[in-house]
Amino acid sequence: MPIAASNNGDLTRTPAATRSVEVQHASKGFAGAQALIDVSLKIASGHIHALVGENGAGKSTLGRIIGGALAPDEGTILVDGKEVSFRHPRDALTRGIALVHQEIMVVPSLSVLDNVFLGTETTTAGWVQLRSLRQRFRTLVGETGFDLDPDVKVSTLGVGEQQKVEILRAIVRNAWLIVMDEPTAALTDEESVRLIAFVRHLRDRGLGFLYITHKLEEALAVAETVTVLKNACHVSTAPAAEEDVDSLVTKMVGRPLSAMFPAKRQRSFSGAPAVLSVSGLTQGRVFQDVSFEIHAGEIVGMAGLVGSGRSEVAQAIFGAGSLDEGTVQLLGEPVRIRSPRHAAKHGIVLVPESRKDQGLIMSASVRANLMLPSMAIRGFCRPIRPSRETVTANSVAKSVDVRMESVEIGVSMLSGGNQQKVAIGKWLVHRPLLLIADQPTRGVDVGARLTIYELLHRLADEGLGVLLISNELEEVMGMADRILVMHRGRMVAELPGHAEENDILNAAFGRYQGGNALS
């Protein structure tokens, strides 16, 4: 039977009646751009319905319409067959529909207990009945299986635990349908597994979910039904059992997953100049005696297990990490990189694995982010005229296909894929010699991945050297002309771009015995 909360917030059993919300022919536009065009969708309680599509396909817009945060320009919403009008999330909540945003909406300074019952506290003569709240909380976590300490401040919890607080708060408010927008985008793999298990558990107790995600494997694993949006339009709704990643990718971008990577370039780079040569790079116990080179126009992939030292080597080359020993040469000339700014002046640039923490200033505009490295290279005492800044920023944004209203909007307002394009594009104002891309497609949808792959290929064709570091073996194999493999801080193998997957994996685990193993 479904979970529900009674008027005093305690969980009770209700008859197993199926509830539903239906959107009919919904359209929504923003500043002249259509975010949704004639989209229809129906979701039922006791059911997980995944919504997938590229960034900009309209997923979040549809989720916010169902959750009451947006009103459609055209179309109707039916709850249990009756037409309703939502002007605020409170309106949707009165009908049992709760919206859990990608950005967690909690009060960090309050406890878990206070956040869960905020606005629904039981009072007597104006005093909160704390004992009653605690009893209701114990009942709540017993029904849901969530293991949360009611007295800890929410600010001390991880993102995954904060999402549980939001789900509990929704249940207390009698929600039977929860709209979750990119629920695992900021979670570790372990946190994602736990959250998905909780969602399934609540589904089995009668709650319904609209599960918005760009992770296709996750959508297929968690949902019974999958809907695909493309270019603001509905493409398909089908049982998840009838779909696979390849079919979803084809519907989203018009080509199968097997065609995601640009065609391999059949050429040798041995005659091209080595833009980067490193020898004997050592940083304590983190990595030792690392040597390799990258030629102009070559994409070199770096594979290995998490913790093998790949990112640390990249940071050291970029001047963001120290070196105890070793030499670095650019175009055959030895250099000593003292800082990231110094590296950029010499033509070495890095797209770090965390764009939000290391790659972008999230509180600044797209224009400011794109122009910041140029300002640092020129010197802040030599400012660029604002009009020229805008022209340059627009040109770079167009060259890397950043989709936005204006370069003046905050970079935080962009989708993850467009943020990543800004993180790459900011280095292209002054043409570098070497681009180090660490996890360049982490957290972006399949359409943005395709754009980034094509961009890296184009930059290499223009003569840049590219060092591509990725946890996804398919990405390394699909993109690299040559593959380096690290194991426990050492470079253990150098393989051709057409190497077999087993050879790369064996090297990553320290078991490679092939002819290209490095001693």
SS3 readout for 42-108 = EEECCCEEEEECCCCCCHHHHHHHHCCCCCCCEEEEEECCEEECCCCHHHHHHCCEEEECCCCCCCC
Mean pLDDT comparison of 24-33, 248-257, 463-472, highest-scoring range: 463-472
Beta bridge partners of residue 287, listed in sequence order: 283
Question: How many Cα atoms sit within 13 Å of 411 on the Cβ side?
Answer: 27
d(CA 55, CA 495): 35
Who contacts 457 (Cβ-Cβ below 8 Å, separation ≥6)?
262, 299, 479
d(CA 178, CA 99): 6
What's the pLDDT score for residue 323? 95
- Burial class of residue 87 (count of CB atoms within 10 Å of its CB; 0-12, 13-18, 19+): exposed
Given a contact cutoff of 8 angstroms between Cβ atoms, the answer to whether 305 and 487 are in contact is: yes
Place of tokens 């296909």: 401
d(CA 280, CA 295): 18
What's the pLDDT score for residue 14? 42
Q: For residue range 301-315, list pLDDT tens digits in order.
A: 999 988 899 999 999
**What type of residue is 102?**
Q
The yes-or-no verdict on residue 162 having pLDDT over 80 is yes
What's the pLDDT score for residue 82? 96
Query: Three-class SS of residue 479?
Result: helix
The yes-or-no verdict on residue 32 having pLDDT over 70 is no
Q: For residue range 468-510, list pLDDT tens digits in order.
A: 999 888 899 999 999 999 999 999 999 999 999 889 999 998 8
Q: Per the structure block, which two tokens stand in for 335?
A: 């250099």
The yes-or-no verdict on residue 6 having pLDDT over 50 is no
Share of the chain above pLDDT 70, in %: 90
Angle, vertex CA 369, rays to CA 363 and CA 374, nearest 5: 145
Mean pLDDT comparison of 29-33, 46-50, 191-195, 245-249, highest-scoring range: 46-50
The yes-or-no verdict on residue 183 having pLDDT over 70 is yes
The yes-or-no verdict on residue 257 having pLDDT over 90 is no
Residue 12 banded pLDDT, cuts 50, 70, 90: very low
Full set of structural domains in the chain with CATH:
3-7+19-258 (3.40.50.300), 274-360+416-508 (3.40.50.300)
